[in-house]
Amino acid sequence: MSRKYEREDWAGNKYWEDEDGNREYEKEDWAGNKYREDKDGNKTYEKEDWMGNKYWEDEDGNREYEKEDWAGNKYREDKDGNRTYEKEDWAGNKYEEKDDKNGGCFLTTACVQHAGLADNCHELECLRAFRDTYVRQVNGGSRLLEEYYATAPAIVSGILASDSSESELSSVYDAVKRAVCLIESGKEGEALECYKSLYMTLRKKYLTHEA
C-alpha cells in the first residue's frame, strides 16, 4: 500500500506527494481540462465517458475509473482491478492510498478478503494510525516498514497460492485483533512485537530464498 498526500506549496498550488517526495501538480489546460502533471511532464487527465462515468487517463490511454464500494468509500480502479482509495487521516489530511489487487498487504488481505471487512474498517484504520504515529518514530521503524512493503506482495502471493490459505489468513486476522487490542490498551511496544513476530514467521515461510 502506498500513499499520496494532498498538499499546497507556498504559492498556493495544489499537488499530491508520495512517500518518496515525488509530486503531481493539479493543473488546467487552456480548454479548461483538469489534469495532474509529475516532475517529468507526464499528464493524467480527468475525463468522462459517454455514459457519464468519470475516469483519469494518462497519455498512454490507461484509465482509472472513479467508483464507490458498498460501504461508500470512493476509489479509482484500473483495468487490472487495482484500486486507489480516497481517504483522510486522523489530522484531517486528505490522501490517496493504492491497494494492489495482485500483491499488497497481508494485513489488509486478511481483513478484507478473509474476514469480509471494508478497507477502512476499525482494525485497519487503527493499524494505519499506529504505523504513522508510532512505528515510523521508533528506532528502526522506518526500515522495518520499507522492508515490509518490499516483501509483503510476495508473502501475500505465497499465502493465496497455498492449500492452507484460509487458515493462514485466519491466523493473520487473529494477530491483527491482538495487535489492535494492545494498541488500544496503550501497549504499543507489545503491539509492535506482535506484528514483528507475525511478519518474521510469514517471511520465513513464504519467501523461498529464506526457507
Residue 103 has pLDDT above 60, yes or no: no
Instruction: Tell me how far apart the alpha carbons of residues 60 and 58 are, in angstroms, rounded to a whole number.
Output: 5
* pTM of the model as a whole: 0.54
The domain limits of the chain are 1-99, 103-211
With a pLDDT cut of 90, the percent of the chain lying above it is 33
Burial of 175 (0-12, 13-18, 19+ CB in 10 A): buried
Residue 78 has pLDDT above 80, yes or no: no
In the block, residue with C-alpha cell 509529475:
38
pLDDT per position as a tens digit, 139-153: 988 888 888 877 887
